Structure 1
Amino acid sequence: MAFSKRVYRSLPFELVEEILKKTPAESLNRFKSTCKQWYGIITDKRFMYNHLDHSPERFIRTDDHKTVQIMDPMTGIFSDSPVPDVFRSPHSFASMVHCDGLMLCICSDSSYERTREANLAVWNPVTKKIKWIEPLDSYYETDYFGIGYDNTCRENYKIVRFSGPMSFDDTECEIYEFKSDSWRTLDTKYWDVYTQCRGVSVKGNMYWIADTKEKFILRFDFSMETFKNVCVCPPIGCTGRLGCFSGDRLSLLLQDTDFGGEEEVSTDIAVWLTNKLSDEVVSFTKYFNVTSPHLPLLQCHGDMARPGYFIGDHKNILAWCEGEVEEDDKWYTCITLYQIDQCGIRKQIETGRHRSFRYLDPFICSYVYVPSLIPVPE
């Protein structure tokens, strides 16, 4: 061990930092105790953000509210760890939003009544740190949430909350700032967000699909603390999921599935991308379309979780989906990873199975996530 430490000290600082920059965040979290030099590098915020910006994406999901699964979409290797005790009943996951390795966790409640009980938390799965966010007044089951940061200071993380169409009072919009540990009320109009696709945080701003006369991308700018209509969406069928592509663009995965008949029938899968969100004019363009017999149902019926997906470099997707199978008069949820390109299914792997509790399962099957050492804001 003494010899190893002498070797570490003999390496130039720049080389040590470059090696650590290419090391997974989970390993870096363990390496903090190796020596003072490594601890100093790993806990330096400049290094943390540089490491984050060069880290590959992962899939993250919770399985049966008991296990956290993180998968490398390139290798298919995944790790399991227990769901933190504080996220077990009554605070089980309903949905999450990712930003800089931090997961904003919206936790389910057994009723649609207002509650003062904290059901919103920020969690870093690498460091295991969790912070519960108390409401200014109350949360609704129909609230929409987003997380991002002020672009003038990336460490200034904020949460936005606004009420949905089933709210009990007038429309509310509030913003929470970690630096002050407090909520403020914003004066804004009512927005009808298309909940089936959920939202995504990109470059510090939050994006949803909203609906008026036509569906469009709604952005919340955490620097200006304002909403803006960004662009019109392509037609959305029964199954859709909004995502991020290449770090600075939006993606949209669509499949028009017929839930009306006795058996669900899958149709073409389409992937749409925007140009850079920083461009003056933003619009969607179809990236590729999959027309092939026997395509999987990315969402086998309306009550199942929406798929998680990752877009590859060669017009292909990895989709982590839920399906249902019946065995011995019991229904089971089976979780399957599909690799799909323009010719159809290239690979499918069942990664898990558990008893089906349709109305208690998470709203989203999985999320794209970047492991990081960014501390949960105090």
Structure 2
Amino acid sequence: MDSTKTKKEQLPWELIEEVLSHVPPRSLVRFRTVCKRWNTLFNDKTFINNHTWTFRFILTTKSKIYSVSINPKIVVRELTLDIPGIQPEIKHLVDCNEFLLCCMDKGASVWNPWLNLSRWIKADVSEPSSRFRIDGIGYDTDNHNNNNNNMIAWWGIHDFASEEWKDLEVEPSQGDKEPFLLTKSGVSLNGNLFSDLLCYLPCGMNHPRDALVLRVFRGDRFSLLKQCHVTKKIEIWVTKNMISVEDGNDVVWMNFMTLSIPNFPGLVPNKYSYSQPSYFIQHKRLVMCSCDETGKPWIYVVEENKLISKVHMSSVVDPWPLHCTYFPSLVPVPGGRRKEAELHV
């Protein structure tokens, strides 16, 4: 007997990938244990980006939560955040690597919307509910965040393991340069939380309606979007090297792209709005989410100094939605103590 005939027939790997790209995300988590090759595939961002259910923006209104997929076309779907006994009216939304932080009056939810798994965090009772807001998530290390402000900063830290709040005093960094005011929230990168005044930026705001947004770039660096309100010119800057807490003040910025597109809209809707655009970079393509002056949300896709598409998300029922970028992952929401460190928000 030919021994080769006794071997089980196997599907081509490309076909296996195609089939798995249609499997619900929560099932993929269980399939990690099938074999090492499958586990490696599920950690591949290209696979997740090509997954049928992948989305890249989250929008929230008073009554609804939406995901927005971009490739191959823009698709808006409703999401559900289930919190027993709490009506999820989100007041503040923060993208933190694999998770979203959804701040509300009585606390916040740490949420993986792709897996639809969440964990509720009660608000610090020492703070008035109107002031409660969580700005990021990271691990407990000697450097909780990078504070370049000239004043001492006070942070409230929530320990996932003990469910307790504690105060943390952060000394200002030493330096002879003036940092630029950046955003209203922190930026999480590789378990480190960088505060508003992160580092010395390559450009600042010259007008109240200039857009200035810092994001994570390619997993280990930062990118900065700047739009001049007067000229509508958009600049994208990226850091040259990997970012670490120790060298946060010594980053080197490079101009990644400059876009001057006729009749391109302003990305900050009005001078009274704190809304900044959300964006991500895919190869040489820039994808942005922003509201117009009436509060209607739009998606803009730009490539090679040309506006490829401009889509109004008409299915978003309420004006002025909160929005942020989000890259789906199969990382479960942490529920207890880790061996290496304790997770904090």
TM-score normalised over the length of structure 1: 0.65
Instruction: Provide closer, same or farther for how the CA distance between residues 88 and 67 of structure 1 changes in structure 2, counting only shifts above 3 A.
Output: farther
User: What residue number does 2:340 align with?
Assistant: none
Q: What amino acid maps onto 2:256 in structure 1?
A: Y
CA distance in 1: counterparts of 2:202 and 2:214, whole angstroms: 11
User: What residue number does 2:48 align with?
Assistant: 55
Q: Does 1:366 align with 2:338?
A: no
User: What residue number does 2:314 align with?
Assistant: 352
SS in structure 2 of the partner of residue 376 of structure 1: coil
Instruction: Provide closer, same or farther for how the CA distance between residues 209 and 373 of structure 1 changes in structure 2, counting only shifts above 3 A.
Output: same
CA distance in 1: counterparts of 2:29 and 2:221, whole angstroms: 34
Question: 1:240-281: per-residue Cα shift (whole Å, max 9, x none)?
Answer: 111111111101111122xxxxxxx55211111112234754
User: What residue number does 1:241 align with?
Assistant: 213
How big is the shift at 1:71?
A: 3.0
Q: Does 1:128 align with 2:116?
A: yes
User: What residue number does 2:167 align with?
Assistant: 185
Q: What amino acid maps onto 1:374 in structure 2?
A: V
User: What residue number does 1:274 align with?
Assistant: 239
How big is the shift at 1:79?
A: 4.5
Q: Is 1:97–1:201's contact at 8 Å kept on the other side of the alignment?
A: no
From 197, 201, 207, the equivalent of 2:188 is: 201
Q: Does 1:296 align with 2:265?
A: yes
User: What residue number does 2:301 align with?
Assistant: 339
CA distance in 2: counterparts of 1:97 and 1:25, whole angstroms: 28
CA distance in 1: counterparts of 2:118 and 2:17, whole angstroms: 25
From 306, 311, 318, the equivalent of 2:281 is: 311
How big is the shift at 1:309?
A: 0.9
SS in structure 2 of the partner of residue 29 of structure 1: helix
Question: 1:11-65: per-residue Cα shift (whole Å, max 9, x none)?
Answer: 59xx98x9469945962424678xxxx47449xxx76973569633842222433
Q: Which residues of 2 match residues 1-378 of structure 1 at below 5 A?
A: 19=16, 23-24=20-21, 27-30=24-27, 38=31, 40-41=33-34, 50-51=43-44, 55-56=48-49, 58-84=55-81, 86=83, 91-107=88-104, 109=105, 117=106, 119-139=107-127, 141=131, 143=133, 145-149=135-139, 172-189=154-171, 194=181, 196=183, 198-210=185-197, 217=198, 230-237=199-206, 238-257=210-229, 267-278=232-243, 281-302=250-271, 303=273, 305-314=275-284, 316-325=285-294, 333-352=295-314, 361-362=321-322, 365-367=323-325, 369-378=326-335
Q: Is 1:198–1:208's contact at 8 Å kept on the other side of the alignment?
A: yes
Instruction: Provide closer, same or farther for how the CA distance between residues 186 and 298 of structure 1 changes in structure 2, counting only shifts above 3 A.
Output: same
How big is the shift at 1:88?
A: 11
Question: 1:144-167: per-residue Cα shift (whole Å, max 9, x none)?
Answer: 52112369xxxxxxx98x9x9xxx
Question: 1:276-308: per-residue Cα shift (whole Å, max 9, x none)?
Answer: 234754222221211232111112213263211
SS in structure 2 of the partner of residue 310 of structure 1: strand
SS in structure 2 of the partner of residue 250 of structure 1: strand
CA distance in 2: counterparts of 1:307 and 1:207, whole angstroms: 19
More displaced, 127-136 or 305-314? Answer: 127-136
Unaligned runs of 5+ in 1: 1-8, 110-116, 152-158, 165-169, 211-216, 218-229, 258-264, 326-332
- Identity across aligned pairs (percent)? 20
Question: 1:198-242: per-residue Cα shift (whole Å, max 9, x none)?
Answer: 3322222223441xxxxxx2xxxxxxxxxxxx4444223421111
Unaligned runs of 5+ in 2: 1-7, 174-178, 336-345
SS in structure 1 of the partner of residue 109 of structure 2: strand
How many positions carry a matched residue from both structures?
A: 306
How big is the shift at 1:349?
A: 1.4
Q: Is 2:98–2:328's contact at 8 Å kept on the other side of the alignment?
A: yes
Instruction: Provide closer, same or farther for how the CA distance between residues 373 and 144 of structure 1 changes in structure 2, counting only shifts above 3 A.
Output: closer
Q: What amino acid maps onto 1:99 in structure 2?
A: C
Q: Which has the higher strand share?
A: 1
User: What residue number does 2:343 align with?
Assistant: none
CA distance in 2: counterparts of 1:357 and 1:71, whole angstroms: 16
How big is the shift at 1:127?
A: 2.7
How big is the shift at 1:377?
A: 1.6
How big is the shift at 1:68?
A: 3.1
How big is the shift at 1:338?
A: 1.0
CA distance in 2: counterparts of 1:301 and 1:137, whole angstroms: 35
Q: Is 2:103–2:133's contact at 8 Å kept on the other side of the alignment?
A: no
CA distance in 2: counterparts of 1:355 and 1:304, whole angstroms: 21
CA distance in 1: counterparts of 2:196 and 2:156, whole angstroms: 19
Q: What amino acid maps onto 2:43 in structure 1?
A: N
SS in structure 2 of the partner of residue 286 of structure 1: strand
Q: Is 1:253–1:271's contact at 8 Å kept on the other side of the alignment?
A: yes
